[in-house]
Amino acid sequence: QVQLQESGPGLVKSSETLSLTCTVSGGSISDSSHSWAWIRQPTGKGLEWIGTIYYTGSAYYSPSLQSRVTMSVDTSKNQFSLRLTSVTAADTAVYYCARQIMTPSTWFDPWGQGILVTVSS
Amino acid sequence: SYVLTQPPSVSVAPGQTARITCGENNIGDKIVQWYQQKPGQAPLLVISFDSDRPSGIPERISGSNTGNTATLTISRVEAGDEADYYCQVWDSSSDHPVFGGGTKLTVL
C-alpha cells in the first residue's frame, strides 16, 4: 500500500523560499502509470493544485503559481520535492503531496497527511 | 478557466439522504471525482470516474454525473459522514486539475 509523507520547515520567512519533500513508501515513484502532485489548502479554505511531476522529471504547474514554483524528483530516494520562491502570507497553508492517477482521467489517491507551513513576516 | 460550483453547506438528519452537487456547464462531458475531508485529516478519495467507489468506501456513498450537475449522494447518513466534500475534474482546456470550492456536510 503506497503511503506518502511530507517533510520540511513549518515556518518560512516572507520573501524567502519554501522547500518541501515528499517521501513515497510501499511503491516506486518510477511507476510509469502515475505522477506525483502537490496540493495546498489555506486554513479554512479549499484545495488548490500546485503542480505535478512525472518520474522522468517532466513537470507542469498551476498557471497562478508557475513563475514561483519548481518541482523535482529523486528516484534513488523515492522522493519528490517542491520549491516555492518569494513567499508571502498568502502562501501559508497545509501542503499535501499525493499520487496522481493519469488515465483515463485524473485523480489523487492516496494523499500524505499534510504539513502546515506558516509564512512569517 | 473551469470553475466548479458547490453549495457551501448541506445539513441532513441522521438516517436521511444527503445530496451534494457540483455544477458547471456540460460537466456531464467530464469525469468527476469526489473527496471527503474530515477535520484535521487529509482528503480521501470516495468516488472516482463519476460513480466508482474505491475499495473500503461504503455502498451508501454514490455518485452520478449528467448535464450540468454532478451529484454525490450519501444514503442513511451517519454522524461519521460529517466532513467537507470536494469535487474535482480535469480541465482539458487548460490541462490541469480543478477542485470545487467544497461543501460542509453537517449531520444534525
Count of other CB atoms within 10 angstroms of residue B12: 18
Chain A residues within 8 A of B31 when measuring between CB atoms? 104-105
Single-letter amino acid, residue A105: S
Evaluated on CA atoms B63, B65, B70, B76, the torsion sign reads negative
The C-alpha cell at A41 is: 489548502
- Which residue from A106, A109, A111 is facing B97, i.e. has the nearest CB? A106
- Output the pLDDT for position B22: 98
Contact A62 B96 (CB under 8 A): yes
The C-alpha cell at B36 is: 471527503
Band of the pLDDT at B106, cuts 50, 70, 90?
very high
Distance from C-alpha of A93 to C-alpha of A78, rounded to nearest angstrom: 24
Chain A residues within 8 A of B101 when measuring between CB atoms? 46
Which residues 76-95 on chain A approach chain B with CB closer than 8 angstroms? none
- Three-state secondary-structure class, residue B79: helix
- Output the pLDDT for position B95: 86
Buried b (16+ CB within 10 A) or exposed e, B22-37: bbbeebeebbbbbbbb
CA distance B82 to chain A (A): 16
Q: Which residues in chain A show pLDDT less than 70?
A: none
Maximum Cα interatomic distance, chain B, rounded to a whole number of Å: 41
Measuring CA to CA, how many Å separate B55 from each of A35, A55, B4? 21, 26, 26
- Output the pLDDT for position A104: 75
Distance from C-alpha of A37 to C-alpha of A86, rounded to nearest angstrom: 21
- Output the pLDDT for position B2: 77
CA dihedral A27→A30→A31→A35, nearest 10 degrees, is 100
CA dihedral A5→A10→A13→A18, nearest 10 degrees, is 0
Interface check A106 vs B, CB under 8 A: yes
Band of the pLDDT at B92, cuts 50, 70, 90?
confident
Q: What is the secondary structure of A21-60 as a DSSP string?
A: EEEEESS-TT-TTEEEEEEEE-TTS--EEEEEE-TTS-EE
pLDDT in tens, B32-88: 999 999 999 999 999 999 999 999 999 999 999 999 999 999 999 999 999 999 999
Q: Which residue has the higher pLDDT, A69 or B95?
A: A69
- Output the pLDDT for position B78: 97
User: Is the pLDDT confidence value at B93 over 90?
Assistant: no
Q: In a mutagenesis test of the B interface, which of A4, A39, A47 is the best target, namely the one with the most B β-carbons within 10 Å?
A: A47
